[in-house]
Amino acid sequence: MPNSRPEPVSACRSHIEGALALSREAGWPHTRDDWSFFLALSRGLALLDGDEVVATTLVTPFGPVVAVNMVLVARARRGTGLGRHILEKAMTLADPDEWRLVATPEGAPLYEKLGFRDAGRIVQHQGIVRPPATPRRDGKPDDARPVAAGLADLEDFAAADRKAGSHDRKDLLAACLRKGRALKLVRGSALSGFVITRPFGLGEVAGPLVARDLASARSLLAAVLDTSAGRFLRVDTDAGSGLGDMLEEHGLNPVGGGTRMVLSRHPLVTSRDFSTFALAAQAFG
Ligand SMILES: CC(C)(COP(=O)(O)OP(=O)(O)OC[C@H]1O[C@@H](n2cnc3c(N)ncnc32)[C@H](O)[C@@H]1OP(=O)(O)O)[C@@H](O)C(=O)NCCC(=O)NCCS
């Protein structure tokens, strides 16, 4: 493709194998299943050279917010404008109030050029879950305990998630609930938080974790860690989430992360009732 720049085509299942090769080349842990999961919730573009997928970008609609993800260019083709080309095309597929993404250091300069601004640091924790060296002392004995949850809780989870992120991620939450296992924390009759753990990459990811306050988030995370001993777990958090110490105590060390970036077109309605303590994926926020 030296002198021409073909138009991207709609990304579909037939591109997954080629897309997987790109994400592996970039050192990302995504599996075929992860690509299918992302593609089923998104619209996207693939840039082809013959049969070879040489670039991808997905956009995932969450009501007034759209997430940009899986922005990848084959290593040998980088620095020739393909990344900008496919991203600009992908951003014509939607017209949200706000674009969001989590940028790698390689991606950040491109997003900055398109008007995205830095909205904070994401820390990726991962490892094999082990019991803490000293017993945890979270909560009082009479505190509410997380209990198993499922699709019957979807409406409540979606409402809390909307308050936490000003987005509508009901479809994503339904897909996560079908694929994984969920816990909720209820105080009185009100939801205090929830977390969904599902297969992803090298093992499992715990997220989204959405809660009213840090105590509720820690209680939910503690329950996930207790049931995940010996398994590979990944948790992506905001740098100031207040969960980092607990994750590290259980062997989930920081291994990198990214930069939250946003491109706002119109102000979003915000609420402080809930916060997002752990991401569903860097792709989805
Ligand atoms: C990020 C990535 C998609 C960029 O693709 P690319 O085809 O190399 O990007 P382009 O050639 O279109 O360059 C994009 C722009 O960023 C600029 N840019 C790139 N690196 C830069 C840097 N370090 N400093 C300043 N500007 C930089 C380029 O000059 C270009 O600007 P221009 O369009 O005004 O000339 C590619 O490097 C990649 O696949 N990386 C691995 C996966 C990854 O990290 N993806 C991002 C996920 S958030």
Residue 66 sits in the same domain as residue 154: no
The DSSP symbol for 14 reads G
Residue 191 sits in the same domain as residue 272: yes
Residue 160 sits in the same domain as residue 256: yes
> Looking at the DSSP assignment, which residues form a beta bridge with residue 57?
45
pLDDT (0 to 100) of residue 206 = 98
Residue 242 sits in the same domain as residue 197: yes
The CB of 21 under 6 Å from ligand 1? The reply is no
Cβ neighbours around 225 below 10 Å, total: 23
Three-point CA angle 285, 226, 33, nearest 5°: 45
pLDDT in tens, 137-173: 666 655 789 999 999 999 999 999 999 999 999 999 9
Residue 62 sits in the same domain as residue 153: no
Residue ranges making up the domain that contains 166: 123-278
CA of 74, closest atom in ligand 1: 39
Residue 88 sits in the same domain as residue 200: no
Residue 153 sits in the same domain as residue 91: no
Both tokens assigned to 225: 């860690």
Residue 38 sits in the same domain as residue 153: no
Flag whether 153 is in a domain.
Answer: yes
Total domain count, the chain: 2
Residue 193 sits in the same domain as residue 157: yes
- In the reported structure, the alpha carbon of residue 58 is separated from the centroid of ligand 1 by a whole-number distance in angstroms of 16
Among protein residues, the one whose CA lies closest to atom 16 of ligand 1: 110
- CATH number, domain with residue 18: 3.40.630.30
pLDDT in tens, 2-46: 556 789 999 999 999 999 999 999 999 999 999 999 999 999 999
CA of 113, closest atom in ligand 1: 34
CA of 111, closest atom in ligand 1: 16
Containing 22, the helix (H) or strand (E) segment is helix 16-25
- In the reported structure, the alpha carbon of residue 7 is separated from the centroid of ligand 1 by a whole-number distance in angstroms of 18
The CB of 84 under 6 Å from ligand 1? The reply is yes
Containing 217, the helix (H) or strand (E) segment is helix 214-227
Flag whether 16 is in a domain.
Answer: yes
255 vs 2, which has greater pLDDT? Answer: 255
Residue 161 sits in the same domain as residue 215: yes
pLDDT in tens, 266-280: 999 889 899 999 999
Residue 148 sits in the same domain as residue 86: no
pLDDT (0 to 100) of residue 227 = 94
Residue 142 sits in the same domain as residue 252: yes
